Structure 1
Amino acid sequence: MEPSRKTFCEVSFAVTEPASSGTQALDRAVQLASMVVQGDEPLSFADLQETSGLAKSTTSRILAALERGGLLERDDTGGYVAGRLFWLYAARHDPWEELVRIARPVMERVGSDTQETVHLSVVRGDKVVQVAQVDSRYLLGTRDWTQVDVPNHTSALGKVFLAWGVLDVPRHDVARLTPETLTTHAQLDRDGAAARRRGYAVTVDELEVGLTGIAVPVHGAHDDVVAALGISGPTSRLEDRTEELGRNLVTRAAEVAAVLHGNTHHVTKEGVA
């Protein structure tokens, strides 16, 4: 059988034990709804029926029920897409709340791995905003950064968005906060290229003397950078460990990305399987 032209996540709900007709019908409805919601494109009746392996009459009956309930709907071409209930839920909730919920367990693991303060930031307009933090296990290094306005070019989190093209590198010289702050377009451009090569951004004494930060991009469902995951701490503790910590963050960011991509079967308690 040739694969479908559509690209979507195949969801399988194998029933290994006897189930009541009600439970089996619910399993099948969840299967079809999951295919549509996780699909990259609208899915046709034929796509859904063929991939699910359900009889045409069963597929038709379940899809009609999902449409009536607002869980699925059809676009102008007749393809199935997520229904109004999904969009209503999304509109009523801060989109970053779901990101924080997904990332929080990973942030806790980063904190356990490194013992340092862990940050999660997103872009709002032209600003980098920290939306979650896990505090350092050390007394020296604990500070609440969620309410602090940090210039984008002075933090590792901000440098992630500059390096990966989410924000434009400033064309004009920017503020010098310490002798180590990078202030020119050329300096920031070179720094961004280096960050992309190694997979993580670094700041050493650029925001405050004695403070080092390391951060990595978090990729969303369409491979765009939706957040930055990072740590910060005293330069004396971090300066000789930047490569080790950077690699750790790259691995942990991949865990968050796996969930955002819907590939939850790749995530285990210990990390990415």
Structure 2
Amino acid sequence: MKPAIRIKATDQHGNIAYIHRDSDRSFRCTLASGLPASFFYAGILPDEMACRFALDSCTTSKQALAIVQSHGSATHIYEMLGVPDASIEPLTALRALEAEVQRLKALLPQVSEHLDDHVIDMARATLAQGSGNDIPARATVPASSDPDQDSEPPQLYLRLYHGRRDPAEQLEDWGSEGPIIGPLAFVQTTYMCDVKFAAAPEVMDRFFPTVMAGWRERGLSNADGPLCDWQFSVTSDLIDYDGVYYGDWTVFLANPTDIERERTISQGVG
């Protein structure tokens, strides 16, 4: 059985994420608010999959911290957290309860309407950190450096570039700009170099209606969220989206209001 490990990652703005695993699970990333996230939020920018593979083979917390520091950003501070004793009854019960809630939501999606998502997120955060001492009363994801707590926090988006209708066409300029897809929970490049991401069902319905319709027709529970996983397959260095082949893509953080304003302008509305 592998040892439980918890590493705290703090960026230059004070935003916190935890890279952690329990003895019976793989490493994952949880934000201070309790939401699951990509390693991107812990400063693992160049190659998340390489970091995951290295972590899965480590046997000590010292090795794990060294791996995270080597793959992490220079703007982040990484520190090892004490792992709570598995015999501590409150944390053990909380972990079992959180797992049961997720199982119930998968079996009966309508149960989600009667759950307080904030309470569930805080439970995840408590388990990720190991104690309740470092959890903010009401964190945003990702935490904003703006002291105005009423402002919208930035969200994660993926944008496609360099589009052409004919995949064999050699463009002399940058071609057409593609959609801004999001907000997303995470974006990562798989070992096959495909672009994998996850989003809420309403985002998937907006950008991938055919995919969602197919899932619902087949009765698949992943169409009901809370997050839907999907990916772009990269073929001959191109991503096919809605009949246009894009040669480049980028991931960025932006305010949702600004994104909607840009979408409106690009569509020639208003």
Q: Whose relative contact order is higher, 1 or 2, with alpha carbons under 8 Å and at least 6 apart?
A: 2
Q: Specify which structure has the higher proportion of helix.
A: 1
Q: Specify which structure has the higher proportion of strand.
A: 2
Q: How high is the TM-score relative to the length of structure 1?
A: 0.24
Whichever of the two has the greater Rg, that structure is 1
